[in-house]
C-alpha cells in the first residue's frame, strides 16, 4: 500500500514518491529520505526476532526516572541506562546473555547509507532499537558513550513520523525541528556528532507497517 511520506503536495492523498533526494541538513548531517523504505518489511521482521530474545523494556535514568521510550539492542555492544549511569554492555542485563547478533542486513544497510553520506568504512558494532508510542518522547541529550566521536551514527526511522529536535553542540544553542518519516535514514558525523538532539512527544497515529508505533534504529561504533 502506498504510504504518506510527508513530501506529497497537500491534498493529493496517498501517493508513494519513492526515495527522495539526499539532503544536507547541516554540517555533518545528511538525510537520505526513504533510503530504507524498500528494506522496511525485512527490518521489522528482524526487529521482532530480536525482541523475542531481548524484549523491549523501559530503562531507568541515573536520576531515578523511567524513560518513556522502550529500548532493546542487537550487536556486540548494547546501550543501557540504570541507576549506575549510561554505558555499553556486551550482555543484556535482563537475561545475562549476549545481545542478539546484528543481522547482516542491518550492518550492510548502515554501511551503505554511511558511505553514501560521505562516511566510508563505517562498521557498526552496536544497534540501539527505540520504540515510541504516541505520548512518548526523548529529551534533548548528547550521545557520548562511544569511544571514538570520529565515527558517525546512522539512524533509521520506521513507522509513525516524528519531529526530531536538533540543537547545537552547546546546551543553549537554537533547536531546529526536522520531520523524520518511515524509511528515512540520517547519518550524523563530523561537526554534527556531538549535537544535542531529541524526539518531540510522538503524535497519535496509526501506520500500516508498525501500527501505533515508531521504531528507530541507531547504528554506532561503540568500542
Give the count of residues interacting with Fe ion (CB under 5 A): 1
Nearest Cα to 81, choosing from 124, 37, 125, 145?
145
Q: Contact between 192 and ligand MD3 (CB under 6 A)?
A: yes
Largest CA distance in the chain: 52
Beta carbons of 222 and 77 less than 8 angstroms apart? yes
Near ligand MD3 by CB under 6 A: residue from 37, 131, 193, 221: 193
Smallest distance, Fe ion to C-beta of residue 143, A: 4
Which of ligand MD3, Fe ion, none lies near 80, with the C-beta cut-off 5 to 8 A by kind? none
Contacts 24+ apart (CB under 8 A), 55-58: 55/94, 56/129, 56/131, 57/94
Nearest Cα to 149, choosing from 190, 208, 102?
190
Which of ligand MD3, Fe ion, none lies near 221, with the C-beta cut-off 5 to 8 A by kind? none
Smallest distance, ligand MD3 to C-beta of residue 124, A: 12
- Spell out where the chain has E strands: 22-26, 29-32, 57-60, 66-75, 78-82, 85-89, 126-132, 138-141, 153-159, 162-166, 176-180, 185-188, 197-199, 214-220
Smallest distance, ligand MD3 to C-beta of residue 15, A: 25
Smallest distance, ligand MD3 to C-beta of residue 183, A: 14
Which of Fe ion, ligand MD3, none lies near 199, with the C-beta cut-off 5 to 8 A by kind? ligand MD3
Which of ligand MD3, Fe ion, none lies near 125, with the C-beta cut-off 5 to 8 A by kind? none
- What residues numbered 115-154 form the site for ligand MD3, per CB under 6 A? 128, 130, 138, 143, 153
Phi first, then psi: give them for residue 113, nearest 5 degrees: -65, -45
Q: Contact between 146 and Fe ion (CB under 5 A)?
A: no
Which range touches ligand MD3 (CB under 6 A), out of 47-55, 169-177, 187-195, 203-211? 187-195
Using the minimum distance from each CB to Fe ion, give the nearer residue, 40 or 69: 69
Nearest Cα to 2, choosing from 19, 17, 16, 18?
16
Question: In the Cβ-directed half-sphere of 150, how many Cα atoms lie within 13 Å?
Answer: 3
Smallest distance, ligand MD3 to C-beta of residue 130, A: 4
Smallest distance, ligand MD3 to C-beta of residue 83, A: 19
Residue in the structure block whose three cell numbers are 529529551:
139
Residue with the closest Cβ to Fe ion? 143
Q: Where on the chain is the footprint of ligand MD3 (CB under 6 A)?
A: 128, 130, 138, 143, 153, 155, 186, 188, 192-193, 195, 197, 199, 216, 218
Amino acid at each position: 500500500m502506498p504510504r504518506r511520506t510527508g513530501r506529497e503536495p497537500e491534498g493529493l492523498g496517498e501517493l508513494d514518491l519513492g526515495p527522495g533526494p539526499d539532503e544536507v541538513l547541516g554540517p555533518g548531517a545528511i538525510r537520505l529520505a526513504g533510503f530504507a523504505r524498500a528494506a522496511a518489511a525485512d527490518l521489522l521482521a528482524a526487529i521482532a526476532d530480536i525482541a523475542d530474545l531481548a524484549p523491549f523494556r523501559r530503562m531507568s535514568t541515573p536520576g531515578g526516572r523511567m524513560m518513556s521510550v522502550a529500548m532493546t539492542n542487537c550487536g556486540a555492544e548494547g546501550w543501557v541506562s540504570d541507576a549506575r549511569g549510561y554505558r555499553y554492555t556486551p550482555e543484556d542485563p535482563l537475561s545475562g546473555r549476549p545481545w542478539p547478533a546484528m543481522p547482516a542486513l542491518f550492518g550492510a544497510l548502515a554501511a551503505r547509507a554511511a558511505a553514501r553520506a560521505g562516511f566510508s568504512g563505517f562498521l557498526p558494532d552496536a544497534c540501539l532499537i527505540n520504540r515510541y508510542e504516541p505520548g512518548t518522547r526523548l529529551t534533548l541529550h548528547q550521545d557520548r558513550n562511544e569511544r571514538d566521536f570520529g565515527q558517525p551514527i546512522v539512524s533509521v526511522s520506521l513507522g509513525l513520523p516524528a519531529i526530531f529536535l536538533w540543537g547545537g553542540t552547546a546546551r543553549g544553542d537554537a533547536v531546529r525541528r526536522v520531520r523524520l518519516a518511515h524509511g528515512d535514514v540520517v547519518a550524523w558525523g563530523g561537526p554534527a556528532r556531538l549535537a544535542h538532539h531529541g524526539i518531540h512527544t510522538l503524535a497519535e497515529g496509526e501506520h500500516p507497517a508498525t501500527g501505533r508505533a515508531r521504531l528507530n534504529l541507531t547504528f554506532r561504533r561503540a568500542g
